[in-house]
A = this chain, B = another copy of it.
Amino acid sequence: MFQQLFDSIQEKVTVTPAEMDICKTFFIPKKLRKKQTLLQEGDICIHNAFVEKGIMRSFFTDEKGNEHIVQFAIEGWWITDLSSFLTKSNSIYTIEALEDCELLLLTMEARETLIDKIPMFERYQRLLLQNAYIANQARINSALTETAEEKYVKVGLAYPGIIKRVPQHMIASYLGLKPETLSRVRKQISTRI
């Protein structure tokens, strides 16, 4: 149940088995079936979710009713609406399971207590945030400067595990493309090889 989380923590910081055991007690295990949601648009996001098994997505819906995927999270990844979580504001995002999932949830209070008890956990969280920030910076550059084809090729290289498990039109949504466009881009690439 906690294997992925332990791996993720140990990859970034050094903690003792005893600390790991304490750590466990702060998380709420939760199972979601495909299409169930962890967060609904308009609600306040009270959890930081770690994915032990399955795949989640967060998305928002624009005025024209189009869905835009913000993030995918597979095993070993975190997902939340950080803005809503931190400021206790209403979320514009929905977070939903794309497969049956096993999550480990951390509330704000649990997170703060855990940081107090195990200082390394704060470092772990900061490193996650730094990586997420850097990844987002790269995504901005990609969105502003690359063609549809470049975006698709890059996401395939960066997250091969995700494009294999997710419908193609969701990859399109993540990249800010229409499904038809992505289909044509793929055809284009395949005929060139």
Contacts and interface: CB of A to CB of B under 8 A. Distances in A.
B176 A137 contact: no
A39 B132 CA distance: 23
A144 interface: yes
Contact of A136 (B66, B126, B140, B144): B140
Interface of A: 60, 62, 66, 68, 70, 82-83, 86, 126, 129-130, 132-134, 136-137, 139-141, 143-145, 175-176
Nearest to A123: B122
25 contacts: A60-B141, A62-B145, A68-B141, A68-B144, A68-B145, A70-B137, A70-B141, A82-B133, A82-B134, A82-B137, A83-B134, A83-B137, A86-B130, A126-B129, A129-B129, A129-B133, A132-B133, A136-B136, A136-B137, A139-B140, A140-B140, A143-B144, A143-B176, A144-B175, A144-B176
Instruction: Count the copies.
Output: 2
A64 B144 CA distance: 14
Contact of A176 (B66, B133, B145): B145
Contacts of A137: 70, 82-83, 136
A60 B141 CA distance: 9
A66 B139 CA distance: 18
Contacts of A145: 62, 66, 68, 176
Nearest to A134: B83
